[in-house]
Each structure stands twice: as structure tokens, then as C-alpha cells.
């Protein structure tokens, strides 16, 4: 009996210990489940809220940038100034109304222009006059966030001219559909989820205006920032802080809340859920867990997963959706559209099926189409048959993998003909594109309006041509007269006067060379230069050219030396133009050669057939000048180069002539060693 009682006591004690251990294990599992739920929800609330902060800030900033862009349009400023000087100026009023109507296509729902006296001069679209919420934002201009069934932004911008004088006012309103959707979807995770946006009340630092979105609906409240001596979570957000807190909200309910500010706008955002709902999946099961504490030890983690997973899945889904929205926004809207819309050039991305996948606002303005009329449409649908047939060969070329540069003329939506410099750049598939890796999957298009540049260039060419032609005849006469006077036709001149006449004659010669060079450039660019092509024996031509230029070298104490190992080299060229090229290279080499040095000319078979090299022992060409050496009027930016003089046209003319003859020209240079200019031409073989 004793041993039975002992066994019984041991069994009871063992049972009690087992029950105690089971209870401890159950409580531990419960605490772990509670902490896990808090941790998951905290991270999810913070991630979702941060995504919404970026979304609100970028969407509102996007509208403000668009409004500022409109307010700085030069033609709008000009028309407002006309209306200021002439109040009923008919054409200015019409242009302002057209502008207001056209800007509605860029996303505004209402737009009005006012002159400097505050009179409305143009208006388009509609403005909300009845709204449930009107929150002022902390911006430089008067800006309000409205709710009238959806979120809208209402802002007023001053319009200033180039001198900073106010010439009028712009008032616009734009809907914010993406932010409206955020409010509509914000409380989808639980019954007590709430998403709040608040702004400090005017003239009262202790209260705030709030827009609250929950499953039960939307509310607009005027709340105190501190209740019962304890700050609400929103108070931290409006104070510029970011974090998560377990506290009481304005209903005096215990909540877990994530808070963050939108400092640039003076707003605060809070996303919260009641702690009772957070722990409800755990507490509701506790009465079933109590009788099964022993089993809970073994199945606790499984139950944790089973009970918390639905809430976690919802939160993770919400977090992922917010992250996806944020990523799309930053990739397509914030990083691309905000930048490209501010660029006056037309920018687009077109896929391999020739459909527009991205375009900036300049495309819409040029073609007079809305974004929906361009996005995902083919180039033929957007451009029309006539313009598309012009660009189609270039499109086929870029889709074959080659960059394309060309100019085109097209009619804008206003009926005006404009010239565009267009560049196409192919886009190749990468590793993420699977079987299209390395293949052309689309191309980027950039078109810049060069109408004004071409007009100015045409005016410049006409001016240069007129001046050059008008100057050459009198200068030729002056040169002849000075030559006769210097030669003694009017009698022997005193030494001092003869020196002055020689200076005038030399300067006259220099002006005539400059004018001839300018006229040559004009002919080359206009395609009017004519070549008298014939079979030319190269050695006699080289000997004659060097003999003509020896006098120039003697004046500088520089000698010329010709290396011509093969006497039978022939080319098909214009001998006069070829002599002009060689003379330009020789004069450059002698100008930059030191005294008592030799300029060597080497002729050989190489490259395209025949290669002519002119080598000097000068200071060399500065590295930063290499890319501009053949440009018009280009001279190295150094005091030495300026002392040498020259028009800066010789090398440009030489390159044009060599290329017209089917050859190429180039140079090699080493600082303090010397420079070699060369050109290559096809050899003539009978």
C-alpha cells in the first residue's frame, strides 16, 4: 500500500509537473505568436506607409511641376503682357483660351488665367466648388488638397516675365487618381485598419485637420494633437518624425501605428490597426488551446503559422502591391516622365513592332494628340501615312541594329512646317529577355526642333556670301593698285611710305585669301563645287607645289624636303584642288616649325592606295584640340597659335576636298616632337 501510495504521489507530482511544463510551453508559444504577429505587422505597416509617403510626394510634386512649367511658357507671358497693355487685345485673348484648352490634355481638370488686375482672361475645364476636405499644403504658392469624391490638387501660380515682374496669375486643378485609389484600398487588411492624412490647423498649433479612411468609410475630423496629455501618433508625423508606436489613438483605443511626415508638403501620414484585432486570431483560439496544452507544445509552431498566415499574407500582399506601385512610379513617372516632359525635344521608345511604349509631352504637342492616342499605337497610326513613308527606311535600318541620324520636315498640329534633327538608337535584349538576348527589341528616338537654327544658319550663309562677294572685287582692285604703286609706276617712293604700302598690300592679300576660303567653304556646303577630274602624275605636281611654297619657308628659315621613292604614282583627281590641299598642309607645317628645321613630305603606297604625309618638328597639337582640328575657324587656344595667324579654314577645306576625291585625311601629333598630317587617295591604275 505504501509503495502504491508513493507511486500515486509520484504520478500526481509528475502529472502536475507535466501540466506545469505544458502550461509554461503553451504560454511561451502564445507569447511567441504574439511577438511574431507584432513584428510582422510592424514591418508591413512601415513598408506600406513609406511607399505611400513617396507616392504622395511624387504625385503632388508632379502636378506642381506641370503647373510651374505652364506658368513659365514664354508665349503665355507675352500674351498676358499684351493684355496688360491693351485690355481687350483680341488675338492675345484667343491665344490664351487656346492654350488653356490645350493644357487640359496634360492632366489638368481645370485651368484659368488672370491678368495683372485679377480679371479672368481664359478658362477651360471645371473646378470643384463643393468639397468635403480642403487642406492647405506647405508650398511656395497657394496650394490645397481637396476631396470631392476623389483627391484633387488646387494650386495658384504667379506668372512673371524675364525681369521678374508679375504679369498675371495661373490657377489650375488636377485630379490625383492614384492617390484616390490608395485611400480606397488602404483599409483592405482588417476591420479596424485606418489610413490617415493630416495637416496642422491654420492659426492653431495644437490641432489638425484629418482625412481618415477605413472599412467603415471616410471621415473628415478636426482633432487635437495631444489627448489626455499623450501625443497621438499623428503628432509625431507632423513634428517630422518617422517610426512605429503602440499607443492610444483619437478614439482612445490601443493601436499599433506607423507614422511618417511628408515634410515638403507639411503633411503627416499614419497607418494603424487596433491591437485587439491584431491579437484576435491568437486570443480567439486560446480557449481551444487550453484543454490541449500538451498538444500545443508539439503543434504550437504549426498553429502559429496557421493562425497568423492569413493576416501576414494580406499584409505582405499589401506591402508588395505598394512596392510595385512605387517601383512603377519611380521608374516610369518620377525618373523618366518628370525629366523628359521638361525637355523640349521629342523623346520616345518604340518596340520591335513599331509601337510607342513611352513618349514625352513634346510628342503630344507636336502631333496634337493625347497620351492615350499615342501610347501603344503604331508609328503609322501616330504619324500618318505620308510622314511614316518618309521615316520607314530609317526605322527599318535602326531595327536592323544600326544607329540612324537624319533630318526631316513635318507639319505640326497647328499646321506649321518644322524641321527636326532625328536620332534613332537601337536597344538590344539582355539576359533578362530570354531568347531575345542580343537581338534588337526596340529603339529610342530623339527629335530636336532645328527650324530656328536652320533659319539662322541660312541667314548667316547669305550674309557671309553677300559680304564675301561684295568685298572681293574692291579688294582685288586695291591689291592691284597697291602692287603698281609698290612697283614704282607712280615714281620712286620714300622708304617709309613704301614700307606702309607693303604692309597694306600684305593685309589686302590676307583678306582676299580669307574671302576665297569662305567662298570655297560656302560652295562645298552647298554642293556647288565642281571638280575637273583627270589623270594626274603625282610627282611633278608635288615638285611644282613645293617649289611654289619654298619662298614662304625661306622667310621663316624653314626648308622643304620631298621623299618620292616611286615615280610612277598616278591618281584620278583635280590637280588645282589637290594643289590647294598640299599648299594648306605645307603652310601650316612651316608656320609652326622652329627656325632652321625641315618640313618633310613623304609619298608612298599605303592605305587607300597613295598616301601623302607632311611632317613638321613643331610643338605638336594640344590633346584637347584634337577633336576640333578640322572644324571651321578652329585654332588651338594658345598664345603661340594666335601669333601665327590664319583663318582657321584651311584644314576644313582640305578635308572636304579630299573626301570629295574619295579619300580620307588625318593626323598624328606628339607634344614637343612634331605633327604629321596625311591624306590618302585611290591610286589610278590603267
Torsion-angle region of residue 434: left (phi > 0), alpha (psi -120 to 50) or beta?
left
Domain boundary among 422, 449, 476: 449
Domain boundary among 466, 492, 526: 526
- State mean pLDDT over 461-465: 71
Instruction: Match 574619295 to its residue by C-alpha cell.
Output: 662
Domain boundary among 449, 467, 491: 449
Is residue 557 domain-shared with residue 668, that is, in the same domain?
yes
Instruction: Report DSSP state, residue 646.
Output: -
Is residue 541 domain-shared with residue 678, that is, in the same domain?
yes
What was the pLDDT predicted at 538?
92
User: Tell me, what CATH number does 625's domain have?
Assistant: 3.30.565.10
Is residue 183 assigned to a domain? no
CA distance 411 to 426: 26
Instruction: Match 485673348 to its residue by C-alpha cell.
Output: 93
What was the pLDDT predicted at 169?
92
CA distance 256 to 606: 82
Which residues are paired to 213 by β-bridges?
195, 218
**Count of Cβ atoms closer than 10 Å to residue 603 Cβ:** 18
Is residue 418 assigned to a domain? yes
What was the pLDDT predicted at 18?
52
* Structural domains of the chain, count: 3
- State mean pLDDT over 664-675: 90
Residue pLDDT, tens place only, 39-98: 666 777 777 778 788 888 888 888 888 888 888 888 888 888 888 777 677 788 888 888
CA distance 629 to 641: 13
What was the pLDDT predicted at 599?
93
What was the pLDDT predicted at 414?
83
CA distance 540 to 233: 95
Is residue 521 domain-shared with residue 593, that is, in the same domain?
no
Instruction: Report DSSP state, residue 152.
Output: E
Q: Is the pLDDT of residue 656 over 70?
A: yes
Residues 6+ apart with CB under 8 A from 102: 365
What was the pLDDT predicted at 1?
44
Residue pLDDT, tens place only, 377-423: 999 999 999 999 999 999 999 999 899 999 899 888 888 899 999 99
Is residue 426 domain-shared with residue 501, that is, in the same domain?
no
Q: Write out the residue range of the structural domain in which residue 360 sits.
A: 346-449
What was the pLDDT predicted at 26?
55
The residue ranking higher by pLDDT, 681 or 149, is 681
CA distance 8 to 454: 109
Residue-averaged pLDDT of the chain: 80
What was the pLDDT predicted at 327?
67
DSSP notation for 301-330:
HHHHHHHHHHHHHHHHHHHHHHHHHHHHII
Is residue 394 domain-shared with residue 477, that is, in the same domain?
no
CA distance 380 to 389: 8
Cα of first residue to Cα of last residue in the chain, in angstroms, is 135
Is residue 105 assigned to a domain? no
Residues 6+ apart with CB under 8 A from 81: 161, 167
Q: Is the pLDDT of residue 7 over 50?
A: no
- Percent of the chain at pLDDT > 70 equals 79
- Percent of the chain at pLDDT > 90 equals 19
If 0-12 CB within 10 Å is exposed, 13-18 middle and 19+ buried, where does residue 483 land? middle
Go through 415-433 and write b for each residue having 16 or more CB atoms within 10 A of its CB, e for each that does not: eeebbbbbbbebeebeeee
Is residue 543 domain-shared with residue 666, that is, in the same domain?
yes
- State mean pLDDT over 115-139: 84
Is residue 667 domain-shared with residue 540, that is, in the same domain?
yes
Q: Which of 38-47, 211-220, 494-503, 619-628 has the lowest mean pLDDT?
A: 38-47
Q: Is the pLDDT of residue 608 over 80?
A: no
DSSP alpha helix (H) spans, 527-660: 538-555, 575-591, 639-644, 650-660
Is residue 383 assigned to a domain? yes
Is residue 572 assigned to a domain? yes
Amino acid at each position: 500500500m505504501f509503495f502504491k501510495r508513493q507511486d500515486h504521489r509520484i504520478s500526481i507530482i509528475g502529472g502536475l509537473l507535466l501540466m506545469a511544463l505544458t502550461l509554461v510551453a503553451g504560454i511561451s508559444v502564445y507569447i511567441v505568436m504574439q511577438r511574431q504577429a507584432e513584428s510582422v505587422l510592424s514591418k508591413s505597416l512601415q513598408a506600406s506607409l513609406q511607399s505611400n509617403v513617396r507616392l504622395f510626394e511624387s504625385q503632388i510634386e508632379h502636378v506642381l511641376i506641370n503647373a510651374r512649367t505652364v506658368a513659365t511658357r514664354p508665349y503665355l507671358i507675352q500674351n498676358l503682357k499684351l493684355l496688360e497693355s491693351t485690355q481687350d487685345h483680341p488675338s492675345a485673348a484667343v491665344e490664351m483660351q487656346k492654350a488653356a484648352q490645350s493644357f487640359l490634355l496634360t492632366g489638368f481638370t481645370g485651368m484659368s488665367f488672370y491678368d495683372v488686375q485679377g480679371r479672368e482672361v481664359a478658362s477651360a475645364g471645371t473646378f470643384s466648388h463643393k468639397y468635403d476636405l480642403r487642406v492647405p499644403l506647405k508650398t511656395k504658392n497657394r496650394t490645397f488638397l481637396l476631396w470631392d469624391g476623389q483627391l484633387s490638387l488646387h494650386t495658384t501660380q504667379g506668372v512673371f516675365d524675364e525681369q521678374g515682374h508679375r504679369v498675371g496669375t495661373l490657377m489650375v486643378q488636377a485630379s490625383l487618381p492614384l492617390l484616390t485609389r490608395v485611400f480606397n484600398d488602404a483599409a483592405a487588411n482588417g476591420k479596424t485598419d485606418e489610413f490617415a492624412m493630416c495637416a496642422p490647423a491654420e492659426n492653431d498649433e495644437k490641432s489638425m485637420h484629418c482625412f481618415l479612411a477605413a472599412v467603415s468609410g471616410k471621415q473628415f475630423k478636426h482633432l487635437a494633437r495631444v489627448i489626455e496629455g499623450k501625443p497621438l501618433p499623428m503628432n509625431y508625423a507632423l513634428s517630422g518624425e518617422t517610426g512605429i508606436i503602440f499607443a492610444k489613438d483619437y478614439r482612445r483605443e490601443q493601436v499599433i501605428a506607423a507614422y511618417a511626415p511628408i515634410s515638403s508638403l507639411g503633411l503627416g501620414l499614419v497607418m494603424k490597426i487596433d491591437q485587439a484585432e491584431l491579437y484576435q486570431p491568437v486570443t480567439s483560439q486560446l480557449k481551444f488551446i487550453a484543454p490541449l496544452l500538451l498538444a500545443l507544445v508539439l503543434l504550437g509552431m504549426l498553429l502559429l503559422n496557421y493562425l497568423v498566415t492569413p493576416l501576414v499574407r494580406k499584409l505582405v500582399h499589401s506591402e508588395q502591391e505598394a512596392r510595385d506601385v512605387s517601383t512603377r512610379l519611380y521608374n516610369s513617372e518620377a525618373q523618366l516622365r518628370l525629366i523628359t516632359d521638361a525637355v523640349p525635344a521629342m523623346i520616345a521608345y518604340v518596340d520591335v513592332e513599331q509601337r510607342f511604349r513611352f513618349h514625352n509631352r513634346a510628342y503630344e504637342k507636336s502631333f496634337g494628340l493625347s497620351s492615350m492616342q499615342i501610347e501603344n499605337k503604331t508609328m503609322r497610326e501616330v504619324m500618318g501615312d505620308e510622314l511614316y513613308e518618309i521615316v520607314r527606311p530609317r526605322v527599318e535600318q535602326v531595327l536592323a541594329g544600326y544607329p540612324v541620324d537624319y533630318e526631316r520636315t513635318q507639319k505640326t498640329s497647328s499646321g506649321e512646317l518644322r524641321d527636326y534633327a532625328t536620332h534613332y538608337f537601337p536597344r538590344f535584349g539582355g539576359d533578362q529577355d530570354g531568347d531575345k538576348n542580343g537581338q534588337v527589341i526596340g529603339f529610342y528616338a530623339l527629335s530636336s526642333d532645328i527650324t530656328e537654327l536652320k533659319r539662322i544658319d541660312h541667314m548667316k550663309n547669305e550674309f557671309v556670301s553677300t559680304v564675301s562677294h561684295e568685298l572681293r572685287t574692291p579688294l582685288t582692285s586695291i591689291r592691284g593698285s597697291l602692287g603698281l604703286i609698290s612697283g614704282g609706276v607712280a615714281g620712286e617712293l620714300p622708304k617709309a611710305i613704301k614700307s606702309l604700302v607693303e604692309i597694306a598690300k600684305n593685309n589686302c592679300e590676307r583678306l582676299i585669301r580669307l574671302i576665297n576660303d569662305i567662298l570655297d567653304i560656302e560652295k562645298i556646303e552647298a554642293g556647288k563645287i565642281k571638280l575637273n577630274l583627270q589623270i594626274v602624275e603625282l610627282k611633278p605636281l608635288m615638285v611644282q607645289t613645293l617649289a611654289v611654297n619654298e619662298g614662304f619657308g625661306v622667310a621663316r628659315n624653314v626648308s622643304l624636303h620631298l621623299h618620292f621613292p616611286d615615280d610612277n604614282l598616278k591618281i584620278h583627281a583635280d590637280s588645282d584642288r589637290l594643289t590647294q590641299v598640299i599648299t594648306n598642309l605645307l603652310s601650316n607645317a612651316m608656320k609652326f616649325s622652329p627656325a632652321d628645321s625641315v618640313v618633310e613630305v613623304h609619298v608612298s603606297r599605303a592605305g587607300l592606295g597613295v598616301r601623302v604625309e607632311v611632317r613638321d618638328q613643331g610643338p605638336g597639337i594640344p590633346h584637347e584640340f584634337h577633336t576640333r582640328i578640322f572644324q571651321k575657324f578652329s585654332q588651338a587656344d594658345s598664345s603661340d597659335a594666335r601669333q601665327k595667324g590664319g583663318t582657321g579654314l584651311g584644314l576644313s577645306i582640305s578635308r572636304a576636298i579630299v573626301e570629295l576625291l574619295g579619300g580620307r585625311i588625318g593626323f598624328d601629333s606628339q607634344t614637343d616632337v612634331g605633327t604629321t598630317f596625311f591624306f590618302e587617295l585611290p591610286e589610278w591604275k590603267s
